């Protein structure tokens, strides 16, 4: 857990949790009631969350692409995902 925010480290967040956190950051920034310095910190946090979400999506896409279809279009198996 991150002592300052009581949230798990970014690398431990699931895609869904990171997306919810990103949506919260966007909501707060769009609200316009956040002081400038906090807005900058929120923006930095949002960018880290966005990159984390994109990395998770890229991993999922790679796993989907590793599914091998046979000549009839049916799934014939999978290829090992790099790192597994």
Does any domain span residue 22? yes
CATH number at residue 37: 1.10.287.1040
Does any domain span residue 28? yes
Does any domain span residue 70? yes
CB 19 within 8 A of CB 11: no
Residue-wise pLDDT tens digits, 10-57:
888 999 999 999 999 999 999 999 999 999 999 999 999 999 999 999
The backbone region for 77, taken as left when phi is positive above 0, alpha when psi lies in -120 to 50, beta otherwise, is left
**Which range of residues forms the domain containing residue 64?**
10-78
CB 33 within 8 A of CB 23: no
pLDDT band, very low/low/confident/very high, at 3 (cuts 50, 70, 90): very low
Task: Examine the pLDDT at 84 and tell me if it is beyond 60.
Answer: no
Residue 38: its pLDDT value, please? Answer: 96
**How many CB atoms lie under 10 A from the CB of residue 31?**
8
Helices (H) and strands (E) counted in the chain, each on its own, are: 2, 2
Does any domain span residue 4? no
- Count structural domains, the chain: 1
DSSP state letter for 6: T
Does any domain span residue 3? no
Does any domain span residue 83? no
Query: CA 2, CA 13: separation in Å to the nearest integer?
Result: 12
């Amino acid at each position: 857990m991150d002592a300052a925010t009581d949230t798990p480290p970014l690398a431990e967040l699931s895609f869904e949790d990171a997306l919810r956190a990103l949506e919260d950051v966007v909501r707060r920034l769009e609200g316009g009631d956040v002081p400038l310095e906090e807005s900058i910190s929120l923006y930095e946090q949002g960018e880290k969350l966005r990159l984390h979400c994109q990395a998770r999506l890229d991993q999922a896409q790679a796993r989907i692409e590793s599914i091998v279809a046979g000549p009839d279009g049916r799934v014939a198996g999978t290829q090992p995902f790099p790192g597994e």
